[in-house]
């Protein structure tokens, strides 16, 4: 009996592993060299990225562009899935589809209560698509550097090809008509005179509108008749000195004298609102558009158009290096856009220096009969 019991136990032990359910390996025997990446939501990672950019002392306007890019990513993902958006969702195909959505389906100015409904059309401009794509690329590059992702999805991205942007500049005649209308209004009130001087400065110095509105009286060098753009007011964060024409300088001096009529505390600026504060860009645009309409200008008018137009006309007689210094661009390639825009200059240079240029200056008379 004892022997039979021991034998049954032995038989049980032999079939022990056969009777149990087989379980597959949950962990591979060999370890991989790749780093195991923790799955984080895109929002959590993007917040760290924004904090990093804040520490880099980026301007609020630049930071806002990164935020706009993130909002676009979330809106696009919502059209494809109800699941949260994670960092590892951003693949090469995701980027390609995102660009297509921006170009064809993204609504312009969506959520902006100050923009009329008729302006909220589908599809962003090529420049807007390129900006958001550039911001996304910067973010992904930071993620790779921080080892938050193993591979950069942009490595296999074929890119976004945009149409070359042409700018319809104001002619010299149109600029003179605009100045004439502003000058006629300048006799009516301080506000109109201030706008006339501001227009003169924008054309003469080719400033960005923000640079002009942040000018202080101490920025004028009365000895050399120049004006300085300080690093904290420049887009490039580099100071530059720009010469003033005699007429623009006289107008500025007259405006400074009229600013003394303000009572109480005012901002330390050249161009002041009637309350003694900094002028708003939208208010300036509204007033100058009114002048442009009266001047018979049919082209789409915006404040940066003045800078584009003045820079293009400068190249008709000036050189590109001095223009680069006046505009405040560090890269000469950025200034080359104005060289492409100056079609009249190109035609004149071709007439003077082209292969058949001699034929343009020699006048010949001949008999009409062929021999």
Q: Which residues are catalytic?
A: 208, 235, 304, 307, 329, 338
Rounded Cα distance between 12 and 41, Å, is 52
Q: Which of 41, 40, 50 is nearest to 135 (CA)?
A: 50
Helix axes 92-104, 60-78, angle to 10 degrees: 100
Rounded Cα distance between 170 and 181, Å, is 15
Residues paired with residue 86 on neighbouring β-strands, in sequence order = 41
Q: What angle do CA 47, 51, 57 make, to 5 degrees?
A: 145
Rounded Cα distance between 164 and 161, Å, is 9
Where residue 314 falls (left for φ over 0; alpha for ψ -120 to 50; beta otherwise) is alpha
Task: Determine contact, residues 312/171, Cβ cutoff 8 Å.
Answer: no
Looking only at the bridges linking them, the beta strands covering 240-243 and 226-229 are: antiparallel
Q: What angle do CA 246, 247, 248 make, to 5 degrees?
A: 95
> Which residues, 6+ apart, have CB-to-CB distance to 132 below 8 Å?
68, 69, 72, 102, 124
Eight-state DSSP code of residue 218: G
Rounded Cα distance between 42 and 87, Å, is 5
By residue count, the chain amounts to: 371
């Amino acid at each position: 009996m004892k022997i039979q019991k021991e034998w049954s136990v032995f038989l049980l032990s032999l079939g022990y592993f056969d009777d149990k359910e087989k379980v597959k390996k949950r962990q591979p025997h060999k370890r991989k060299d790749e780093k195991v990446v923790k799955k984080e939501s895109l929002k959590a990672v993007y917040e760290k990225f924004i904090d990093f950019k804040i520490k880099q002392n980026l301007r609020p306007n630049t930071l806002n562009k990164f935020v706009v890019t993130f909002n676009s990513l979330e809106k696009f993902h919502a059209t494809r899935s109800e699941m949260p958006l994670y960092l590892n969702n951003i693949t090469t195909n995701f980027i390609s589809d995102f660009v297509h959505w921006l170009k064809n389906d993204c609504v312009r100015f969506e959520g902006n209560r100050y923009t009329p409904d008729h302006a909220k059309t589908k599809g962003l401009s090529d420049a807007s698509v390129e900006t958001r794509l550039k911001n996304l690329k910067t973010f992904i590059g930071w993620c790779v550097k921080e080892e938050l992702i193993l591979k950069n999805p942009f490595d296999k991205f074929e890119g976004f090809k945009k149409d070359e942007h042409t700018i319809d500049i104001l002619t010299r005649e149109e600029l003179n008509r605009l100045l004439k209308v502003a000058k006629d209004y300048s006799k009516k009130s301080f506000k109109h005179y201030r706008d006339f001087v501001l227009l003169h400065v924008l054309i003469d110095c080719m400033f960005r509108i923000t640079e002009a509105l942040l000018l202080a009286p101490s920025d004028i060098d009365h000895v050399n008749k120049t004006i300085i753009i300080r690093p904290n007011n420049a887009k490039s964060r580099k100071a530059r000195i720009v010469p003033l024409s005699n007429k623009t300088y006289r107008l500025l001096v007259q405006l400074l004298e009229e600013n003394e009529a303000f009572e109480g505390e005012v901002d330390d600026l050249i161009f002041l609102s009637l309350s003694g504060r900094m002028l708003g860009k939208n208010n300036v645009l509204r007033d100058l558009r009114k002048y442009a309409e009266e001047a018979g200008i049919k082209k789409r008018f915006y404040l940066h158009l003045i800078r584009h137009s003045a820079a293009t006309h400068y190249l008709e007689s000036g050189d590109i290096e001095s223009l680069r210094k006046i505009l405040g661009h560090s890269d000469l390639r950025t200034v080359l856009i104005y060289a492409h825009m100056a079609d009249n200059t190109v035609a004149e240079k071709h007439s003077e220096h082209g292969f058949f240029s001699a034929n343009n200056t020699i006048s010949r008379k001949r008999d009409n009969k062929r021999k």
